[in-house]
Every structure is written in C-alpha cells, then in structure tokens.
Chains A and B, each alone.
Chain A
Amino acid sequence: MKRIKVVLPIVIAGVLLLAFVFADGEEPLSLIRIAKDPALSVRALARLRVDVRQDLETCLLAMAGHRDLTLLRLKGVRFTVLMRNAGEREILVVGTSAPGALASLRSAGRAVAVEPRTAVFWTDRGSPAEAVPSGLPRKAISPRSVLPYLVMRQPEHPTLQAAAQDPLVETIVSLVSASGLSASVQTLQDFQTRYASTSNCEAAGESLFSSFSALGLDDVRFEPFAFASYTSRNVVAEITGETYPDDIFIICAHYDSTSPAASRETLAPGADDNASGTAAVIEAARVLAAFPLDFTVRFIAFSAEEWGLYGSRAYADAARQAGERILGVINLDMIAYADALPEDIQIVVNPASEWLANAFQVAAANYGAVGATKIVDASMIYSDHSPFWDSGYPALLAIEDEPLNNPFYHRTTDTLDRLNIDFLTEASRAALGLLAELGQPIREGCPATPVGLSASSTVYSSLFNAVKAVHLTWDSRADAAGYNVYRTSHSHLGYVRINGAPVTRTEFTDDEMSWDAPSYYVVTAVGATGLESNRSREVAVVPGTGSPSSNAQGQCILRLRRAR
C-alpha cells in the first residue's frame, strides 16, 4: 500500500508530462533565432520540421512551439528565444545599419538585434509597419515557412570570361533612351507623393497601367493586395514567350515612395527611390515590345515596398501557389544617384541566385558602360527581390550603393535634379541587356529554338574515379539540319559546345563531366545554311539538387512583333 502511494503519483505525473509533450492542441509559438553554424544543415532543419520564416546571412528566424524548442535543444541546435506568443503578431525585420537606428527603433516599439545590421521589430498595439521610424528599411516576416527554398552554401566565384556581344541584343540595348528615362522619372515625381496609402500612389499606378497598355504589351493588369489596413495594386504586363510561354523572367521595381512621417502623405517625390527603377522597367518594356521573344518576360511595378515589401510579397506568394515557373527576377531599386564617378552598380543576391549576378556582370560589361559588383548577402532583404527568395525564385537586386550613400534617400529632396541620368541610362542598358539575353529575341531566318530538352544522368564509378554520363534528349525541329549541344558548369554562363559536327539525332550523351560537379545544358538547332537558333531552356544536372554564345554564324534578320 505504501509503495502504491509512492508509485502512483509518479506514474500520473509521467503520463501528464507525456500528454503535455505530445499533445496535438494549439500551442503558443515563439520567435526564435537559430545561429547558422557549419554543422547546421537544411536537411537537419527539415527533419526537425523547423518553421523558418526568414533566412539571414548569419542566422535564421523561425517560429517554434514548446515541442519544437524541446526537440531543438535535444538535437543541440543553438537558438535564442526572441519573443514568446509571436504566432499572431505582425513582425518586421528592420535594417539597422544607420547610426542610432536600433535606439530609434526601440523607442518606437519592441526591437531585438539579431545581427549587427538587422533587428526584428514589433509593437504591442497597432501595425509595426506604421510605427517603424522613417528611413529604416524594413520587411514583413514571411507568413509561411521558407524552409523548402532554403539554400545554405558558400558563394561561388566563377571566372567571368569576356563573352561575345550578341549584335541583336546590342541593337536592342542601344534603343534605351536617356530622355525617355528622364521623362518617366519626372512623370512619377509629379504625383508629389506615391506613399502607398495615398490616392496619389493609386493614380501613379493608373499612369503605369496606361503606359504599359500604350506599348501593346500582353495581359496588362492590376493585381490588388491588402496591407496594414489599406489596399494597393501592383501593375503587371508581359510579353508572352513564343517558344516557352510558361517560363518567365521578370524585371521589376517598386513605384511607391516615402519621406519623413510628417510629409510622406503629401510630398515624397522618390525620384531615385524608386522612380528610377520604375522608369527603367518602363523603358525595358518600351524597347522589348517590338521584339518577339522565346521566353515570357514580365514587367512589374510593385506597390507598398516602403511599408514592408507587401506588394512583392503578395505577388511572389501567389506565383508560388500557382506553381509559376519564374526563372529569374531583376529587381531595380535606386539606380540613378551617383555619389562618385564613375559610379558602379551593386548586384545583391542570395547563394541560390548567384548565377543571376554573374550573368548581370557579363551583361553590364557587354551592354552598359557601367561596372557591376556582386554582393552575396542573404541579409540584404529590404527590397522586392526578397519575397522571391522566400518563394524559391532566383532574384537579384540592382542598387547604386550597398550600403546606401544617397543623402536624399527617403527625403522630400529626392528629386530628378539630384540624379545622374547617364548612370541611370547605363544601368538600364545593363539590366535590359541581361533581360534580352534571358528572354531571347527570336531571329527570323534562323531555325526555331529547340524545345523538350530533358536530361537523365548515371554515375559510373571505378575505384578512384567516376563520370557522370548525362543523356540528353529533345524534340525534333522541322527546320533543323542538326543540333549543337552546349554545357557549362555555372548556370547561364560560359556555355561551351561539346559536340563536333552538328548532331543529327535528337539525343546526345555527355560523359566528360566530373560526377560531383553541377552541369547545365542547352541545345540549339542548326539550319541547312548553317544559321543557329537561340538556345533551348537550360536543364541542370546537379549532384544531390553565360556568357552568351554567338548565336548566328551568318546574318539573321530581326523579326519585329506586330503592333497591337
């Protein structure tokens, strides 16, 4: 009897403890910071089902319940709890690189530093988006897990070989007009403010819609979304690809603006931030509208970026849910202020998007008289490329300086007269050069671009070596006398032809690649006269997951799109 008195409470307590640990009920979520140490892998995080909401350079921000925290502790994952009961809250990630930024943030609400230049911010009442001190870049934390798209690897540093300029792309880029860019900036500035909660911002959106419509682009539309207690609209247009209509490249910029809290609803000219990027998008659309393309190119002007990237967040989330195949995003944000000459442009990417920065650097060298510097920084999340990263799409940010060096940033003095239009023109040319390389204008007289390229690979191994035999197949093209097969070890960069004479069949086996190195392939069709088509869509053969080639051996005639 005495033993029962002792054992029974222990058993009951044990059962209660187990019930608590394994109960399925709703449990309060905490916001935690997980340090990215070398031992931490995406696979391990996936096994633990960690609800990662934001990837940063040195850490991850995640939501975790009691059980998750227990599991993380058991598995030896280093984390700190930033906020308890965080599940229902709106949380922002805020850039705090400016002097005194963290202190001003703490005076406006609750802020915890998670990196030297990054803090999380929330408020006990009201929307944190409205409480963030003006001038601090911010981003609303993702409402869902970004773990499926998380890539943790060291940056690559491929040798960027000088590539031959494509004469057709050169022609396209030469059509960029400095006066057109300047006029577009002036038009946007003339709205006085484009702060996303104002009617002026909506009017600016209407103006952009009209501009895209006047160019005869396909499917010009508004895409409304809600943020804080407001609604706004992204403006979207596209040139639908003739060969790969479902494969999309995007060039985008935000058209909303801001200035100090006292003035932003009446005066926020935002010439550099970001009429400059929006003008470049309009100019790219104007120039490319005349050319049929292999791939779909989409032109997007986002709203509510200054509030916390709400427009691009809504767009990227919807695209991911719809399963859209977005192959690359070029986000232009502040590309017209030159603090020193010659000014260069900074290309910010995360590790998964690095190929895009490499390709931009090559395009800038070929088509824009502007230098481009690559920055691989997962913590640079304060522009519209970031929601695309969260959805697993490759995206780059092109920006004049990182960190920013524009004294008129987020001020009422950010006006056209402060800008360097030559720099804006060259930056726009570089961006358009890359976009044209990716979208591939169709050349009349050349064979049709091959489609249906697929790859299967087998690793053959001896004791000390192995090869990856990649078997490629593609669809036959009626106007092709043969095909060329190209390979590169860096996506979209430095393709090398790997066949001798054109291949007459629609298959090819490549066994020259190291088994543990990624390889990327494209195929072109060669016509009876020797003219070569554009490249097919790239297929990747990546273990465990370009420079533009000269496309024509002869002369191709430009085929212009019909005016609509």
Chain B
Amino acid sequence: MRARRLAAGLAAVVLGLAGPARAQEISLSLAAGSVFAADAAYRQVYGGSGLALEGNIWFKLKVPLGVAVGLGRLADDGFAVPMDGGEEEYPVEFRRTSVPLVVFYQVGGKAIDVRFGAGLGIHSYRESWETVDLVHEGHKVSFRLVLAATYALLDRLSLLCSVSYDSIRTGAGSPLAENADVGGVQLLGGLSFRIF
C-alpha cells in the first residue's frame, strides 16, 4: 500500500513536471544489456544474466534535477533445478516488464553528463514452464537506484551507459526460494536522443 502511494506520488510529480514544467531538456534513450540477479535461486534457475531492454524519457529541469520515466523488459530462460539429484530437464522462462519512475540529479560538463537517481520500479512478471502447465504471475513495486552517464556524439545524439539496482522481493516462492527476488543489478548501454 505504501509503495502504491509512493508510486502514485511520484507519478504526480512526473506529470506535474513533464507538462507545464517547462523542462529545459527532454531526451529519449534506448538501451540494452543484462540483469545480474541478486537472488542465488534466480541464478540457479536462469544463470548469471538475462537480456534486458529499456527505454526512458528524461525530463531535465532548469535546475540540475529531473525525472525519468521508462519501459523495460527482461527475458530469461533456464531449467528447473532438481532438489535431490534428478536427471529430467524442465525448461522454464521468465519475463518481466518494468516501468521505472526516477527522480535524478544531473551533473556534467560539455560532453559528459552524469545522472544519479532514485525512485520506483513498477514490475509485472511471469514465470512459465514449457512442458508442464505451470505459470506464476505477479506484480510488485520496488525501490530503484540509477546511475547513468551520457557522452555526446553529435549535437543531439549521445552514448548512454547506465547501472541500476532493483530489489524486487516478491513475497512468493517455491522449495528453492522462500521469498524470491527477481531484481538485481541492471547494466545497460545505448543511445540517447535529445528531443529539445
């Protein structure tokens, strides 16, 4: 409930700033990379890292503050873990869609900008077994930390590199994980385009 209130509050801030807020700068970024799962159980099932894609719109104000809102997607494939030495293989897949809402502080010079941010991630996730009729779906709001840096290539185009951390304790689990965490450290690289 608290997380939902926070999300709603942050959304209000974003909307409040994004429209009439006279953003000094609005840019759009697209990035791809990996998520390094925090949960050992996750790593057991899906391996060390999964493919992540994320797009964000960054609203930078006249002050060195701004907000970012985005849409992310994580896809991972793995195998169910035998708890006591079985030899069967049960392929499983994990998909996560996230909407990050972050307030950031920007510092930088002519070519390089660095953004430190904190906020929320609203996540929807789904785990399914390919050969057995088992599906688990859930939603979770989590705390998010972001560190992003851009390097200007052209007037409006920049290289983007970001590291973010989400702790997404789901409250659900299995014999392998009592309270599975589907978050972790996300490392992305991509491009950022300044709209104005």
Contact = CB atoms under 8 A, between A and B. Distances in A.
Interface of A: 458-467, 469, 509, 511-512, 515-516
Nearest to A459: B83
Contacts of A512: 132
A469 B80 CA distance: 12
B180 interface: yes
Chain B interface main SS type: loop
Contact of B84 (A458, A463, A465): A458
Interface in B75-109: 78, 80-86, 88, 90, 92, 94
A141 B86 CA distance: 46
Interface in B171-196: 172-177, 180, 182
A459 B134 contact: no
B160 interface: no
Contacts of B90: 460, 462, 467, 511
Interface in B122-158: 127, 129, 132, 134-136, 138
Contacts of B132: 467, 511-512
A509 B132 CA distance: 13
Contacts of B84: 458-459
B174 A465 contact: yes
B45 interface: yes
B69 interface: no
Instruction: Classify chain B's interface size.
Output: 20 to 34
Contact of B81 (A460, A464, A511, A516): A460
Chain A interface main SS type: strand
Given A467-B80, A515-B175, A462 B86 contact: no
B86 A466 contact: no
Contacts of B134: 462, 465, 467
- Most chain A CB neighbours (cut-off 10 Å) among B82, B84, B176: B176
Given A460-B81, A515-B175, A465 B136 contact: yes
Contacts of A466: 80, 83, 174-176
- Most chain B CB neighbours (cut-off 10 Å) among A459, A512, A516: A459
A465 B83 contact: no
B41 interface: yes
Contacts of A463: 39, 41-42, 45, 94, 127, 136, 173-174, 176-177, 180, 182
Nearest to A509: B88
Contact of B173 (A459, A464, A511): A464
Nearest to A516: B175
Given A465-B174, A467-B132, A460 B127 contact: no
A384 to B, nearest CB: 41
A458 B174 contact: no
B82 A459 contact: yes
A474 B90 CA distance: 25
A460 B81 CA distance: 5
Contacts of A467: 80, 90, 129, 132, 134
A463 B94 CA distance: 9
A464 B174 contact: yes
Nearest to B176: A461
A74 B94 CA distance: 48
B173 A460 contact: no
Interface in B14-73: 39, 41-42, 45
B88 A465 contact: no
A465 B39 CA distance: 16
Contacts of B81: 460-462
25 contacts: A458-B83, A458-B88, A459-B82, A460-B80, A460-B81, A460-B82, A460-B88, A461-B80, A462-B45, A462-B78, A462-B80, A462-B81, A462-B127, A462-B174, A463-B45, A463-B127, A463-B173, A463-B182, A464-B127, A465-B134, A465-B174, A466-B176, A509-B88, A511-B90, A516-B175
Contact of B175 (A459, A469, A509): A459
A372 to B, nearest CB: 36
B88 A464 contact: no
Contacts of B129: 462, 465, 467
B147 to A, nearest CB: 27
Contacts of A469: 86, 88
A35 B115 CA distance: 62
Contacts of A462: 45, 78, 80-81, 90, 92, 127, 129, 134, 174, 176
A460 B86 CA distance: 8
A472 to B, nearest CB: 14
A86 B83 CA distance: 48
What 6 A-B pairs have minimum CB-CB distances, sorted nearest first? A458-B86, A464-B136, A461-B176, A460-B80, A465-B134, A459-B83
Given A460-B81, A465-B80, 15 more contacts: A458-B83, A458-B88, A461-B174, A462-B80, A462-B129, A463-B39, A463-B45, A463-B182, A464-B138, A464-B170, A466-B176, A467-B134, A509-B88, A515-B174, A516-B175
B4 to A, nearest CB: 22
Contacts of B176: 461-463, 466
A509 B78 CA distance: 22
A295 B180 CA distance: 48
A461 B81 CA distance: 5
A458 B172 contact: no
B48 to A, nearest CB: 15
Contacts of B39: 463
A461 B175 contact: yes
Contacts of B85: 458
A462 to B, nearest CB: 5
- Most chain B CB neighbours (cut-off 10 Å) among A464, A509, A515: A464
Contact of A511 (B88, B135, B174): B88
A461 B132 CA distance: 12
A358 to B, nearest CB: 28
A515 B170 CA distance: 20
Contacts of B78: 462
Given A464-B127, A464-B136, A469-B88, A458 B82 contact: yes
B37 to A, nearest CB: 10
A409 to B, nearest CB: 52
A468 to B, nearest CB: 10
Contacts of B42: 463
A328 to B, nearest CB: 31
A516 B182 CA distance: 23
A285 to B, nearest CB: 46
A462 B45 CA distance: 6
A512 B175 CA distance: 17
A44 to B, nearest CB: 21
A459 B42 CA distance: 17
A516 B175 CA distance: 9
A515 B176 CA distance: 12
A11 B189 CA distance: 73
A381 B83 CA distance: 41
A462 B46 CA distance: 9
